[in-house]
């Protein structure tokens, strides 16, 4: 019962503070990254998240791929990463009235998965963000999992990384679903473990993506067991 009450508070707090952040970014467009980082730091504190980090973040990686189970995955990575990440999100999020501006103002990348031309736009947008020194962040599963096991990887991240010959760092995140579960409407303070794996050079002539999926699954399953 307490976790449900806490979850309701979290979503009210999210709605109010995100609205404030959107307005702040409109007024201070040159400081959008600083504003986002400040908001993420507050969320880590308010949600009672204790971070346990293993491995080392590679600042030279041009793309990070992360398993996805909760909105907290974004909050945790934004809090930890030193650079201005460009997240790849489905177009439906950016189309949300008012709140979709959380994608538009900081120039994140929205993808129309039902439009074939969306692939060309995705590649163009990725190049644009990389030229600005912004690493690309993607969820290869394509959507949130149950938090108990990882979903099958979709080909989008591999296609982008192979086409642009990117250095990719895989990241495995554990326990964000237990801290905040938007489906069960529960929120409980806890430890979130972040595991950085070795950076890989994308190459369409190798099976790096399949091996990465296998390695991430092995790490995830080991932690869950």
Whole-number average pLDDT of the chain: 95
Are the CB atoms for 126 and 109 separated by under 8 Å?
A: yes
Q: Considering only CA atoms, which of 53, 103, 113, 114 is closest in space to residue 79?
A: 53
**Rounded CA separation 197/191 (Å):** 19
Which residues in the chain land under pLDDT 50? none
2-224 CATH fold: Glycerol-3-phosphate (1)-acyltransferase (3.40.1130)
**Rounded CA separation 168/3 (Å):** 36
**Rounded CA separation 186/102 (Å):** 24
Query: What digits encode the pLDDT tens for the residues 34-92?
Result: 999 999 999 999 999 999 999 999 999 999 999 999 999 999 999 999 999 999 999 89
The alpha carbon dihedral of 4, 14, 39, 92 has a sign of positive
pLDDT at 113: 77
User: What is the share, in percent, of the chain residues with pLDDT greater than 70?
Assistant: 100
Which token pair is 170? Answer: 């895989």
Report the run of H or E that residue 162 belongs to, with start and end.
helix 156-164
């Amino acid at each position: 019962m307490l976790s449900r009450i806490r979850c309701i508070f979290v979503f009210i707090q999210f709605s109010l503070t995100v609205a404030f952040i959107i307005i702040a970014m409109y007024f201070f467009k040159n400081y959008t990254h600083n504003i986002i980082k400040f908001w993420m730091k507050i969320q880590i504190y308010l949600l009672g998240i204790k971070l346990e980090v293993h491995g080392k973040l590679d600042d030279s990686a041009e793309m990070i791929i992360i398993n996805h189970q909760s909105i907290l995955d974004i909050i945790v990575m934004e809090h930890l990463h030193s650079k201005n990440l460009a997240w790849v999100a489905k177009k439906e999020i950016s189309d949300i009235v008012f709140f979709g501006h959380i994608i538009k103002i900081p120039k994140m990348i929205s993808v129309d998965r039902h439009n074939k031309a969306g692939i060309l736009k995705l590649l163009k947008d990725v190049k644009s963000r990389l030229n600005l020194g912004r690493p690309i962040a993607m969820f290869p599963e394509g959507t949130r999992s149950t938090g108990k096991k990882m979903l099958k990887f979709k080909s989008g991240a591999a296609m982008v990384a192979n086409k642009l010959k990117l250095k990719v760092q895989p990241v495995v995140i554990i326990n964000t679903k237990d801290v905040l579960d938007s489906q069960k409407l529960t929120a409980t303070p806890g430890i979130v473990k972040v595991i950085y794996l070795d950076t890989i050079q994308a190459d369409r002539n190798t099976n790096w993506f399949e091996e990465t999926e296998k390695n991430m699954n092995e790490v995830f399953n080991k932690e869950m067991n």
